[in-house]
Structure 1
Amino acid sequence: MTGHRVLVSGASIAGPALAHWLHEYGMTSVVVERHDGIRPGGQTVDLRGAGRTVAQRMGIEDAVRAASTGEAGVAFVDARDRVKAAFAAEAFGGEGFVAELEILRGELANLLYQRTREHTEYVFGDRITALDDHTDGVRVSFAHGPDRTFDLVVAADGIGSSTRTLAFGDEARVVPLGLYTAYLTIPRAASDGSWARWHNAPRGRVVALRPDNLGTTRALMSFLCPPRGYERLRTDEQKQLLRHVFAGVGWEAPRVLRELDAADEFYCELVGQVHAPRWSKGRVAMLGDAAYCASPISGMGTSLALVGAYVLAGELAAHAAHRDAFGAYERIMRPYVAQAQHLPPFTPRIAHPRSRLGIGLLNTLLATAANPVVQRVARRFTSPPADRIDLPDYTRLRTR
């Protein structure tokens, strides 16, 4: 399919990664992103397993390592900041709670953008509003720019993908997991070091702090709750909700709540997964969270994005017809995605105990994880199936 023009919706991780590989195989990409540029900041993501292998094949592993947050591990602490259990980044072979390569989402997105901007057209501040899929291509309408026609379109614009809705209607389901999570960036304090800290409070509430490489701290606040539309509230309403939900929580919670008003990098979501019966329709395909979000709980989001982009581009290069390429992409990726979306039993409740007794039991389990018997159980919760795919080798297909 050398020479094909592909429109990619979304410039986070999956979109630019796909642009990289399409260029390697002689195809041209246009990436449209509704934000005015690459979104900065964001929380920490990791490269592990097959995702790390793809990064190596892209030639970006050293750059990722140079931009790493340097997170040394994660400590589970009580309200007095006493460590109840701790896991270094090297635990579980570097594939546990913390991976060897941790990088801010915005840093990785910008790295991919810088590596692709010379050969890829990026259209910021716009979005797809209509798709007319016909025999010879897809005519695309945009919110601001003129209509354009492409050979293929790929939706890589996240769990709430509007492009997915245009092409697939309500075929894909977003399955909520009963958890809300808010993310924000706060000033670094003397109590923040190179270790992430996780604190459980009764009623299924969690506050976590993670170091970054930019001189600030990444905060997370999550709580068990059935879907109630909180993700659709205005930002000021979401912040007020957090003040209510986390009132009375000790440890560093008051500090995080005090920083809510000043936090520019703030995001609140209903944690869920995307389940879709198919990832392509005509000349339109889906990639990454838009197609198969496994949720942040899985620890597999970045791996799925990078591996999916690698396989989709490789299969497009390997087949003369897009239908065959899309079919092969799905056959290769489906088992990998299924494993990533198969979360351990009682997730996310097991990491968000509702009672003090439950918190004590969780901390005891974590503290004894060095025991070989317990460690085999713990691996189910700390080691995502990041390696469980045989990556095809598309080297012979490269034109660059």
Structure 2
Amino acid sequence: MKILIVGAGIAGPTLAYWLRRTGHEPVIVERAPRLRRGGYAVDFWGSGFQVAERMGLAPRLHEEGYRFLEAREVSGSGRRIAHFDPLRLIDGYGGGYVTILRSDLSAAIWDALQGEVETVFGDTVRSLHDDGDRVLVEFAHGSPREFDLVVGADGLHSLVRSLGFGPEPEFERDLGITVAAFDLEGYRPRDELVAVTHTVVGALTLRIGLRDDSTMFCFMFRHEGETPQDDLMAQQQLLRDRLRDVGWEVPTILEQMPRARTFFMDRASQILLPSWSRGRIALIGDAAAAPSLLAGQGSALAMVEAYVLACALHEADGDHRAAFAAYQSRLQSVVRTKQDAAIGMGSAFAPRNRAQVLLRNVALGLMNVPLIANLAIGRSLRDPIVLPPAPGS
């Protein structure tokens, strides 16, 4: 089948890789003029890592990723008040875990396509007409084309979902937290392979040192108003207004923010859809069921969903209705569980009061106790997803 994939992030190219292996003809369209850079660092593990291994990506991910030696919480003066060794916990659950920039993960998947998938950058869909036998797609710039199937892999604010399923507010659960991330070159101080956090009521700041003397900062803060979209100046002003009194290194970081090489901001939201498909149109990744940035496994889930959908299409021998149903049936309960778990993480990333800040710091220190660490985090590191055999193998 000729299958249009909208979005060249994580899920889209993963799906294209496996569709091409099983004889389909995927076409990717991406609104951005090129692969996106910047974003934030993700903890990548579990079944998503297994998919990456089956694509031959594991060596590259380990090479380009990071294994942090310490997670450290500091006071406003920079004094260490809690810490633990993340490797001691992670390595207890086997390999297949890496912290990596989301854009580096995306680039690795993209390179696996080896230039063999038609891709159109700088364009997106404008309308979708599913007549039951095919989907007529009108693009914002290109000429109309027909496809057997259309898959939306275009993220939290999916245009395919809006066109084919309904407006975003009908399916979005806003968690009341905004996330921002950017990187600076030459920032000081610098702590190699240490994830340093400073947490106050309503906000968390994370600083991590990257390669080539680059430092990434991530901010999570409670925000009840509108989060600006596609307006860099408004986004950076929101950060200044909301975080100017946070303390620690934050005033210096915000002062240097205008020279950031990349910048990302969005609200932490979840997508709750009763069905991930309609007719010949399906959704994967955040477009289908975003767990939110608080869940910590969105990129891995995106790869799993793409892989399972490709497997389902292969097993159904072209019956898209059966394939779409099998794909959702296999994954929906697991995804909903992770979404529900993410809601409770808000107090860890942006505590509502001083008591939650203190509780968070105590819990962080207790991560050095294996039994407590296992009870608190270990369960989330045991991924319950069992992948089907690789299609086309």
* TM-score (structure 2 length as normaliser): 0.93
- Which amino acid in 2 is paired with 1:157? D
Corresponding residue for residue 312 of structure 1: 309
Letter paired with 1:235: L
Question: Which residue, 368, 371, 375 being the options, matches 1:370?
Answer: 368
Which residue is 2:7 aligned to? Answer: 10
Given the alignment of the two structures, is residue 271 of structure 1 paired with residue 268 of structure 2, yes or no? yes
The correspondence of residues 118-267 of structure 1 with structure 2, limited to 5 A, is 118-170=115-167, 173-192=171-190, 193-201=192-200, 203-226=201-224, 228-232=225-229, 234-267=231-264
| 1:105-126 deviations in Å (ceiling 9; x for gaps) | 1111111111114210110000
Mapped pair 1:388 → 2:384: yes
CA distance in 2, matches of 1:233, 1:127: 16
Contact 1:95 1:383 in 2 (8 A): no
Matched, 1:299 2:284: no
Query: Is 2:77 the partner of 1:84?
Result: no
How many Å separate the matches in 1 of 2:365 and 2:138?
55
Name 2:326's counterpart in structure 1. 328
**What is residue 69 of structure 2 aligned with on the other side?**
72
Q: Distance in 2 between matches of 1:60 and 1:170?
A: 36
Residue 351 of structure 1: CA displacement? 3.4
Q: Is the 8 A contact 2:138 2:144 kept in 1?
A: yes
Deviations 1:262-293 (A, max 9, x none): 22411221111111000011111000000011
Unaligned runs of 5+ in 1: none
Q: Which amino acid in the other structure matches residue 312 of structure 2?
A: E
Q: State whether residues 69 and 211 of structure 1, in contact with CA within 8 Å, keep that contact through their aligned partners in structure 2.
A: no
1:102 is matched with 99
The 1-side partners of 2:382 and 2:303 are apart by 11
C-alpha distance in 2 between matches for 1:161 and 1:345: 22
8 Å Cα contact 2:4-2:149 kept in structure 1: yes
Distance 1:168 1:46 in 2: 31
Contact 1:339 1:385 in 2 (8 A): no
Q: Deviations over 1:309-357 (max 9, x none)?
A: 1100011111131100111101111122122212166430243224444
Q: Which amino acid aligns with 2:2?
A: R
Change (3 A) 1:21 1:187: same
Q: Structure 1 residue 81: deviation in Å?
A: 1.8
CA distance in structure 1 between the partners assigned to 2:159 and 2:249 by the alignment: 37
CA apart distance, 1:88 = 2.5
Tell me if structure 1 keeps the 8 A contact 2:68–2:87: no
Distance in 1 between residues matched to 2:42 and 2:293, nearest whole Å: 9
- Amino acid paired to 2:171: R
- Give the aligned residue type for 2:385: I
| Residue 56 to residue 352, structure 1, CA distance change in 2 (3 Å) | same
Query: Runs ≥4 in structure 1, deviation > 6 angstroms?
Result: none
* 1:35-62 deviation digits (Å, cap 9, x = unpaired): 0010112211232111111111111111
Percent identity for Structure 1 against Structure 2: 33
Shift of 1:131: 0.5
Q: How far, CA to CA, are the matches of 1:269 and 1:345 in structure 2?
A: 17
Q: Which moved more, 1:318-327 or 1:181-190?
A: 181-190
Does the CA-based 8 Å contact 2:292-2:342 persist in structure 1?
A: no
> Which residue type is aligned with residue 152 of structure 2?
A
1:260 is displaced (CA, Å) by 2.1
Give distance in 1, aligned partners of 2:334 and 2:218.
28
From the superposition, tell whether residues 212 and 61 of structure 1 become closer, same or farther in structure 2 (CA, over 3 Å): same
Greater CA drift, 343-352 or 323-332: 343-352
Structure 2 residue runs of 5 or longer lacking an equivalent are: none
Could you tell which deviates more after superposition, 85-94 or 160-169?
A: 85-94
2:15, 2:249 → 1: CA distance? 40
Classify 1:317/1:311 alpha carbon distance in 2 versus 1 (closer, same or farther; 3 Å): same
Distance 1:95 1:21, change over 3 A: farther
Go from structure 1 to structure 2 and tell me whether the alpha carbon gap of 1:299 and 1:95 turns closer, same or farther (over 3 Å shift).
farther
1:286 matches 2:283:
yes
2:206·2:218 contact (CA, 8 Å) conserved in 1?
A: yes
Does the Cα contact within 8 Å between 1:90 and 1:100 map onto a contact in 2? no
Q: RMSD over aligned Cα, in angstroms?
A: 2.2
Alpha-carbon distance in structure 1 between the residues aligned to 2:217 and 2:379: 23
Change (3 A) 1:69 1:90: closer
Q: Does the CA-based 8 Å contact 1:50-1:391 persist in structure 2?
A: yes
Q: Structure 1: which amino acid aligns with 2:97?
A: E
Query: Does the 8 A contact of 2:148 with 2:280 survive in 1?
Result: yes
Residue 351 of structure 2: aligned partner: 353
- In the alignment, the residues of structure 1 paired with residue 91 and residue 296 of structure 2 have an alpha-carbon distance, to the nearest angstrom, of 13
